[in-house]
Amino acid sequence: MDQKDKFYTPDHVADRLVGHVAEEEILTVADFCVGDGDLLKAVLRRFPHVRCFGVDISKESIERLKTEHPTWSLGDCDFLERTKVAKLKGIGDRKYDLIVFNPPFSCKGGTLCNIEFEGQAFKCSTALMFLAEALEYLNETGVIYAILPISCLYSQKDKVLWDYLTENHQLKVLEKLDRPYWQQCSPNILLVSLRSNAARAVEEQTKGYDFTRLPITRIVRGTIGMHEAVFAEGRAGKKMIHTTHLHGNKVTTPGQISNGEQYCIKGTAVLIPRVCNPNKGKICIYDDRSAYVLSDCVIALQTKGRKDAQTVFDTLMAHWDDFKEVYNGTGAKYTTLERLRVLFGVKNDK
């Protein structure tokens, strides 16, 4: 990045942008030009329990943020170089509920960027290129909120891609801000949101039986990977449930791990695998008062009690052909938290 493009987001602008985020549960948020982390900090002010991910071309910025925010997942590379982003394990291979960013505004010498997007070639500004590229990392019901120069809305160089994003996705101008103060400059900017039309595809995939009336209170996806688990002997640790423990509609003896305290959940739930070729035998009721940890391959459909869990279980069994449509994929079939949110009509899932 040109040093002239290092204009980090003032707190009042960051809060203004994040103020547009819908009042729903956000589990993961990413900023692909994270800079000083101002936008992620603004998200945390509204959603304190969200997991933060950041990328920046400045190694110095990333090293500083790693020291200041050790729980954030961070990596240094040019976001527009996909192969480098893909190598950022746990960042480039993930889809996010929320993406926020303030991309570089300048185009050196007035030159245009070339982008291949959804099978078509476009020319556009650097800022709009960042917006389009970020769609690849958005999950099916997620939203991007971004700060853009006002020229993206009015210039001829961005018109074709802007119109394409508006017509084929859900690009909206949230607010125009006239010359808010940045250190060293005061640009006219737009606050925009962009939602992928993949959300509509999810709705199309789940048009069978209406599962939205089931008594599910929360949907929780496990977040600890098997490579992260530290297994303990005897009863020394917390119960950890992996897909291998879901068999014959019963939870077989879970493993015991000594870490993962921050991922513990409690209460009755119907447990389903996240990745599998749909199998009725993997759907299990778990009714135990003790805390437990789910691996990242298991999802819990939590209920208020055993009776409600039985209702959920019986409904999934009775309407299996409709339910299994929530699993797809070219290789091993899988589902996502987002598809399940749509299927069951549950928003506040954590």
For residue 273, the domain's CATH number is: 3.90.220.20
Q: Are 260 and 240 in contact (CB under 8 A)?
A: yes
CA pair distance 181, 177, nearest whole angstrom = 10
Q: For residue 312, what are its two tokens?
A: 């959920």
> β-strand 96-101 against 138-149: which pairing, if any?
parallel
Q: How many CB atoms lie within 10 A of CB 183?
A: 9
> β-strand 138-149 against 250-251: which pairing, if any?
unpaired
61 and 171 housed in the same domain: yes
Of 148, 168, 196, which marks where a domain is finished?
196
**Residue 2: predicted pLDDT:** 42
> Is 78 within the bounds of a domain?
yes
CA pair distance 22, 341, nearest whole angstrom = 15
> Is 300 within the bounds of a domain?
yes
Domain holding 229, by residue range, is 205-344
158 and 255 housed in the same domain: no
| Domains contained in the chain, number | 2
> Is 350 within the bounds of a domain?
no
310 and 263 housed in the same domain: yes
189 and 314 housed in the same domain: no
> Cα Rg for the chain, rounded, in angstroms?
22
**Residue 19: predicted pLDDT:** 93
Q: Are 175 and 192 in contact (CB under 8 A)?
A: no
Of 138, 163, 196, which marks where a domain is finished?
196
224 and 191 housed in the same domain: no
275 and 190 housed in the same domain: no
313 and 209 housed in the same domain: yes
Query: Rounded to the nearest 10 degrees, how much is the dihedral formed by the CA atoms of 225, 230, 233, 237?
Result: -80
Q: Are 112 and 139 in contact (CB under 8 A)?
A: no
**Residue 300: predicted pLDDT:** 93
| Mean pLDDT in order along the chain per 10 residues (350 residues) | 55 91 83 95 93 95 96 94 87 91 71 84 92 90 92 92 91 83 67 80 67 92 66 66 87 67 79 88 88 85 95 96 82 78 73
161 and 142 housed in the same domain: yes
CA pair distance 327, 339, nearest whole angstrom = 9
**Residue 6: predicted pLDDT:** 52
**Residue 181: predicted pLDDT:** 55
Of 161, 176, 196, which marks where a domain is finished?
196
